[in-house]
Amino acid sequence: MVIIMDYYAFLDENNVVTEVIPGKDQGSDNTDWEQWYGEFRGQVCKRCRTDGFRKNYASIGYTYDATRDAFIPPQPYPSWTLNEDTCLWDAPTPMPTDGQLYYWDEATTSWVVING
């Protein structure tokens, strides 16, 4: 049996995650734990889990998007676009899958092989 624990993300005035804590499971009773933790801390609070609930697990610096009901990581490069299905950022071209190591070069908007 897999146990999925609830965590709670606290948001600043721009909906950016400032802290994530473990907390009570939302289904454990009739308490609205998002509301309870939010009122206790005086911040907006959103529940998160590691199982894809709200697309991605919340981390410090992620943004909560209420329209998508998702946590979105910071955009790694200006050329990358948001994938609406995963709420993760996609490079303009996929990273090669030939077994070599690559890094993203924003100046050329391309993947470059890391020579070991």
pLDDT over threshold 90, residue 100:
yes
pLDDT of 79 > 80? The answer is yes
Task: Give CA angle at 12 (6, 15), nearest 5°.
Answer: 75
pLDDT band at 3 (very low <50, low <70, confident <90, very high): low
Higher pLDDT, 13 or 2: 13
Q: What is the pTM of this model?
A: 0.87
Distance CA 100, CA 91 (A): 17
pLDDT of residue 87: 98
Sheet-wide strand order for 44-48: 17-22, 7-11, 44-48
Predicted pLDDT of residue 93: 97
CA distances from 110 to 35, 49, 90 (A): 44, 33, 12
pLDDT attached to residue 116: 60
